[in-house]
Structures are given as structure tokens and as C-alpha cells.
Amino acid sequence: AQSVTQLGSHVSVSEGALVLLRCNYSSSVPPYLFWYVQYPNQGLQLLLKYTSAATLVKGINGFEAEFKKSETSFHLTKPSAHMSDAAEYFCAVSMFSGGYNKLIFGAGTRLAVHP
């Protein structure tokens, strides 16, 4: 069975600082991994996804993530945080079941950005 673990329920960074949100996965088959962002009172927006094409995946808003099989990780990074990045971030793995997929989410990491 697939699962993801997000280390750190809350992360706080200064504006302009590096953002690093950690995600480790567990999967018996090659995983397909996603990062979603949720702004307050809004739905989930796809940031980026890994589907085995390239280990370094670039997403929207300057975010990127690197798939590291040896570390079973898919950490999300952004070189310079912006105030507008404050949100909840969810890592998810696609669980393939009977020909169809459902997303299994991590517990989420709330990112705070302060001046």
C-alpha cells in the first residue's frame, strides 16, 4: 500500500528565504507523486507532479521538487519565499487500484512567511 509522510506540520520562513517542505513516500510499486497547495478557504491547486519522466520536476509559482528513490523522498523547494506562498501544502501519492487511481494525502504542512 502506498502512503506519504510529511515531516513538520508547521514551517515558518522569512520572506526571501529558502522554502523546504519534506515529503517521504512508501510504495511497493513505482510511485506517482503530487504536491497540492490549499489557500485559506479554497480548494486544492496542483503545484507539480512526478510521473517518472524526470526526477527534478518544476511546478508553478517557482516551486520544484526532486524525486529521490534512494531516500524515498519528494521534497518541495522554492529558492525565495514570498508572502503569497503562505498556505497549506499537501504531498500525495497516487494509489493504483483496479485500473483507477485515488490520491492518498499526507497530513499537510502549513507554511507561514513573515516579513
Partner 1 sequence: AAGVIQSPRHLIKEKRETATLKCYPIPRHDTVYWYQQGPGQDPQFLISFYEKMQSDKGSIPDRFSAQQFSDYHSELNMSSLELGDSALYFCASSSQTSGWASTDTQYFGPGTRLTVL
List interacting residues with partner 1 (CB under 8 A). Answer: 32, 34, 36, 42-46, 49, 51, 90, 94-108
Minimum distance between the CB of residue 19 and partner 1, rounded to whole angstroms?
A: 20
Q: What are phi and psi of 90, to 5 degrees?
A: -120, 130
Pick the closer one to partner 1 by CB: 17 or 103.
Answer: 103
Helical segments of 1-115, H only: none
Shorter beta-carbon distance to partner 1: residue 53 or 56: 53
Assign 68 to helix, strand or coil: strand
Query: What is the distance of C-alpha 92 from the center of its chain?
Result: 7
Is the Cβ of residue 2 or residue 73 nearer to partner 1 in the bound state?
2
